[in-house]
Amino acid sequence: MASTTPQTIDFASGPALSNHFKAFTNLLSHQCKIYSDNVFARYISKDKVYKTLTYAQVDLLATNLACRWYQYAKTTEVIAYISEHNINYLIVMMALLKLRRTMMAISPRNSEAAITNLMQKTQAKFMIADAKYGSISRDAINQLDNVKLVVVEPFDIELLLQEPLNPDQKNLIDTQFSDADINKDALIIHSSGTTSFPKPIYLSNRYLFHLLTPLHLTLPFAKGVEPLCSSDVMLSCGPLFHIFGTYAHFSMATVGGSVVFMRNLPASLEDIDYALRSNNVTAMCAPPLIFEQMIPYLKKTQDFDAIKRLKFAMFGGAALREASGDWLCEQGLNLCTMYGTTEINAIMTSDLSPQRKHHWSSFRMIDPNTRCVFEDEGELMHLFMPADGLTLATNVSNRPDGSGYNTNDLFKPVGDGYYTYVGRRDDTLVMENGEKTNPLPMETTLRACDLIKQAAVLGQARQCTAALIELDPEVVSDMRSEDVMAQVQDAVKKVNTQCPNHSKIIPQMVKVLPLGQSLPSTDKCTIKRKAVEDMYREEIEALYKAFLEGPAHTTAKSWTADELAGFLEQCAAEILDIADRSQLKDHSQSLFDLGLNSLTSIQLRNRIAEYMDVPQNFLFQHPSIQSIQKALLSHEKQDASLQREQQYQAAQKLAEDYIRMASHDFPKAERRSTLAPGDHVVLLTGVTGSLGSFLLRDLLQDTRVKKVYCCVRGQQDQLSKRLFEAFQSRSLDTTLLQTDRVEVLPMQFSAPYLGFGKELYDRLREEVTIIQHCAWLLDFNMPVDHYDKQCIAPFYQLLKFAYRPENPMQVHFISSVSASAGMDKDEIEEKPLPFDSHTCMPMGYAHSKFVVEKLFDYLASEKNLPYFIERLGQVCGDSENGVWNTSEQYPLMFIGGGSLMHKMPQLDTVIDWISVDYASASIKDLMLQDSTHSIYHIVNPHRIHWSDVLQAMKEAGMSFDIVSTAEWIEALNQDQSNPCYRLISFYEANFKNSHFKMPIWKTEETQMLAPVIDRSPVLDAQLFRKYLTHWQSVGFYHPN
């Protein structure tokens, strides 16, 4: 092709680029010649100094690599590449584009199974892997036929530059292009795979031409900002295997500018600052989380020179908090946002002018000729992209008729062709504990009541749902207020019969608006939820505050024992919706056994607090009417140490009672044979929990396992759905569930035949070889007698099911390090506990684990049963996607303390937390080993200090003070709406002073049989950023 000067190419037009170039590599090769002596890449060297490569040097390196791999490329249409983002990535990417095959960029975050699946879907027969990912790549392609793998060590760039241009390059590299190349696929970027395996998205040369146009279409019209030129330097915090990173890096090639490659991504704030200053960066592209994290760093340093030098700083992929963006703009950063997806290209951006008329968070079409349709959905608009649009990826239509692509993104028009991003069509509320609520059917049921004109159900990131009710004035005008409220509550009761427990609306959480006030809604009668939250923010906050904090004690009254018992019966009956009061006549029965839970216990406590002063955790200490009555009538506060000792004694007696029963129920067994690999049939409980989900995933991926029976709580017709959602919410591969190797069963172990029915019960007794019991209540407030009814007694029935006189089933139990944390030892060995309940921490959860451990110890030593204990330490979210349940102790502390209070306690304790995927992999290996050792510790062998965790939090972008435990608990006591306030009694009992010393749990036996545990990562800033990203995505974390 004839040389074309830069000035004659219109980079503001995708069609115009197609007239000059027919392929993306054609364009890049041309630019490397035009700007041969310009710096293209700036990369950090081993000695932490930035070095440079010119366009000609990058092209030379890429050309020689392409020639080296030519023979392999002939065997395939798709070449896969997996590596972290660095200078090598740019060189390899340009080499693969030169080979005129479709390059598939595989994110290094993918699992082995995901890599295999991507290779299968794309039929790639050649894979290049960075040495760091050689092992996982090798394992992935071992499951495929005829795939060639080349593992690449980090490049010695100085040495490679000394090599001359391959003399045969003109014969090996095809540089003849035609119009047919324009629509050929040059690149594959895959989806994140949050709901299943990642999906490959094919990007044509035409798509990539359009990807280069945005800055040329916008900067020339941005007042106060000069267009890009060859002296500009781009810092991209988005990797080349993401479309935003591809856009950022190659946009600079259109003007002969340069791009910066930091040590790794995500980068630390120090590395970003060093990159900005060392390279005189003039443009920046990054995810919004990076800009959120920059704020505390900038506030600390008070040095804004580097960001003021930027022509623009662009973010995309998610929303940025308005207050954060405004603050950055006030400091002189020209912040702007871009909207696009891999499927539709980059199509909208905000005004890049610092003197913009419209807010930085609003954007308009980059090219007014882009084919798109904003479909009216009331106040909001849904973006639809017709199939004939030139910017779209290949074959991405998702409408049944093939007419185009539904983005499912909703926007609000703000005038002059500008929009603000509002959210997804999916209106699901994600509760504080991670449970999900669909408010739409609940609102429909409420509106079915004649006097309710409109209703809004709220609860995003809250402990419970709430409802705002707009009355129909024509219906209620002649009604008494008491009758109106009664009918509203009847409608609420009807809603509660149709929704899951976590979604139920508590009576106190219903707010009826005064006549004349209305709820914003669309013409289709659907609620404008965001507008409702904005309009009634004060009322909503007051509703939650009143419920969570309870009433002040204002009514003085003296009670007889009978009066108090009657009052408690009445309150319990109303709150638990018990029509037959005879169910409450046994005053020694725990109310939690009758359905009291964490939310309804607040209701009951609030009713009692109208007459008497009671602490927030009162009902957990006194769960029956009898114990409540005794405590209230005594007018004395029971000594806390005496209460703890009573619980220890209860646990000791419970262990003795179960051993006494077991001595009669279990004759001594004989173990004669072992199973051949591939014959294991596992019965697994707790599969919808975090550890259980990962354990099921790992078992199904192991060929030694023939089948897994999954016991799931809930309604029979919802069991499979619950399991699917558990996988989906943790970004696990849901296709693993679509096989006859997994079968879902009801979990009703207190029922006859475990709820299976006799025929299935008998068949499973013959078929199952291993039981792994993960299911257990996790509530630090509940006493051990509650755990007995809910967990231990049903599990005992499962143990009777597992018993066989010959070759009994192996039974594994997930215990807890809390069962041994009370021992006065520096190190805990992988051995049975002493028969003393004081070995465990002072809470019912730990007591219950102690009881089962002692029962297992007895059954293994005296009855010759193959029973195994995995003592589990603190489990973190997984190391790949950072999914960590928001209802757990430490996520609550991190967000409640670090993000909301801006205070974290100083603790003198060692941290051995383990990521759930490594805990699962270790336990799976232990289950499938033939060993006589029976006790293992699932903790991270690589220990750090609590101070390292605090440092990781700060490096990840959180800003807080480190205070004493006493000060931290006092601050928490002042804010009962704080999510971690629910654990205040736990903190008070265990954080008495900063020396929250825990022993070391030894792992020698575990490491011997499950060496994967040695690879467990520690909690550092990189891992903590993943947790923050996930928590932000589910509405649990809002960066400040």
User: Each residue of 673-732: pLDDT tens digit?
Assistant: 666 666 899 999 999 999 999 999 999 999 999 999 999 988 787 788 889 888 888 889
Do residues 674 and 704 lie in contact, with contact meaning Cβ atoms separated by under 8 Å? no
The reply to whether 102 and 249 lie within a common domain is yes
Of 185-194, 214-223, 246-255, 419-428, the least confident: 419-428
What's the average model confidence in pLDDT over 761-771? Answer: 95
User: Where residue 511 sits, what CATH number does that domain have?
Assistant: 3.30.300.30
Asked if the structure places residue 3 within a domain, the reply is no
Asked if the structure places residue 454 within a domain, the reply is yes
pLDDT band at 176 (very low <50, low <70, confident <90, very high): very high
Largest pairwise CA distance in the chain: 103
User: Where residue 77 sits, what CATH number does that domain have?
Assistant: 3.40.50.12780
Distance between CA atoms of 350 and 360, rounded to whole angstroms? 6
> HEC string of 82-147?
ECCCCHHHHHHHHHHHHCCCEEEEECCCCCHHHHHHHHHHHCCCEEEEEHHHHHHHHHHHCCCCCC
Do residues 820 and 840 lie in contact, with contact meaning Cβ atoms separated by under 8 Å? yes
- pLDDT score at 19: 85
Query: Where is the domain boundary, 819, 840, 872?
Result: 872
The residues near 603 (Cβ < 8 Å, ≥ 6 apart) are 506, 507, 508, 575
pLDDT > 70? residue 524: no
The residues with which 876 forms a beta bridge, in sequence order, are 915
The reply to whether 612 and 691 lie within a common domain is no
What's this model's pTM, rounded to 2 decimal places? Answer: 0.53
- pLDDT score at 675: 63
Instruction: Encode pLDDT of 226-251 as tens digits.
Output: 889 999 999 999 999 999 999 999 99
Beta-carbon count within 10 A of 368 CB: 8
The reply to whether 347 and 457 lie within a common domain is no
Instruction: Encode pLDDT of 135-169 as tens digits.
Output: 999 999 999 999 999 999 999 999 999 999 999 99
Q: Quote the number of domains for the chain.
A: 5
Question: Which is nearest to 697 in space by CA: 726, 669, 717, 672?
Answer: 726
Asked if the structure places residue 881 within a domain, the reply is no
User: Where residue 588 sits, what CATH number does that domain have?
Assistant: 1.10.1200.10
- pLDDT score at 58: 98
Distance between CA atoms of 541 and 538, rounded to whole angstroms? 5
For the chain, the residue count is 1040
The per-residue DSSP string of 953-1009 comes to HHHTT---EEE-HHHHHHHHHT-TTSGGGGGHHHHHHH-SSS-----EE--HHHHHH
The reply to whether 567 and 543 lie within a common domain is no
- pLDDT score at 498: 79
pLDDT > 50? residue 963: yes
Do residues 81 and 188 lie in contact, with contact meaning Cβ atoms separated by under 8 Å? no
User: Which range marks the domain in which residue 95 is found?
Assistant: 14-411
The reply to whether 176 and 235 lie within a common domain is yes
Of 19-33, 152-166, 725-739, 829-843, the least confident: 725-739
Question: Amino acid identity of 332?
Answer: G
pLDDT > 70? residue 1009: yes
Query: Where is the domain boundary, 384, 411, 438?
Result: 411
pLDDT band at 486 (very low <50, low <70, confident <90, very high): very high
Indicate the Cα dihedral angle 291, 292, 296, 298, nearest 10°.
Answer: 20
Which has the higher per-residue pLDDT, 481 or 781?
A: 481
The reply to whether 471 and 352 lie within a common domain is no
Asked if the structure places residue 928 within a domain, the reply is no
pLDDT > 50? residue 494: yes
Q: Which strand (E) or helix (H) includes residue 801?
A: helix 793-802
The per-residue DSSP string of 233-275 comes to EEEE-S-TTSHHHHHHHHHGGGTT-EEEE-SSSSPPHHHHHHH
What's the average model confidence in pLDDT over 668-672? Answer: 86
- pLDDT score at 194: 42
Whole-angstrom distance between the N-terminal and C-terminal Cα of the chain?
Answer: 53
At which residue do the structure tokens 């897994």 appear? 708
Instruction: Encode pLDDT of 319-371 as tens digits.
Output: 676 778 899 999 999 999 999 999 999 999 999 888 888 889 899 999 988 99
Question: Which is nearest to 276 in space by CA: 525, 556, 579, 50?
Answer: 50
Q: Is 403 helix (H, G, I), strand (E, B) or coil?
A: coil
User: Where residue 705 sits, what CATH number does that domain have?
Assistant: 3.40.50.720
CA angle centred on 798, ends 795 and 799, rounded to 5°:
90
Asked if the structure places residue 777 within a domain, the reply is yes
The reply to whether 337 and 478 lie within a common domain is no
pLDDT > 70? residue 556: no
Of 508-517, 535-544, 641-650, the least confident: 641-650
Please state, rounded to an integer, the average pLDDT across all residues of the chain: 88
- pLDDT score at 640: 66
Asked if the structure places residue 5 within a domain, the reply is no
- pLDDT score at 195: 41
- pLDDT score at 554: 55
Give backbone dihedrals phi and psi of 833, rounded to 5 degrees, phi first: -75, 155
The reply to whether 436 and 399 lie within a common domain is no
The reply to whether 566 and 544 lie within a common domain is no
- pLDDT score at 672: 73
Asked if the structure places residue 396 within a domain, the reply is yes
What's the average model confidence in pLDDT over 15-42? Answer: 94
Distance between CA atoms of 301 and 493, rounded to whole angstroms? 55
The reply to whether 498 and 364 lie within a common domain is no
The reply to whether 375 and 436 lie within a common domain is no
- Structure-block tokens of residue 868: 């195994």
- Structure-block tokens of residue 1015: 């690879």
pLDDT > 80? residue 962: yes
Q: Is 200 helix (H, G, I), strand (E, B) or coil?
A: strand
Distance between CA atoms of 108 and 84, rounded to whole angstroms? 6
The reply to whether 539 and 673 lie within a common domain is no
Indicate the Cα dihedral angle 277, 280, 281, 282, nearest 10°.
Answer: 130
Q: Which strand (E) or helix (H) includes residue 874?
A: none
Positive/negative CA dihedral, 699, 701, 703, 708 = positive
Asked if the structure places residue 934 within a domain, the reply is no
pLDDT band at 503 (very low <50, low <70, confident <90, very high): confident
Query: Where is the domain boundary, 549, 575, 608?
Result: 549
- pLDDT score at 198: 84
Sheet containing 126-130, strands listed edge to edge, beginning at the edge strand earlier in sequence: 148-152, 126-130, 78-82, 102-106, 185-190, 200-204
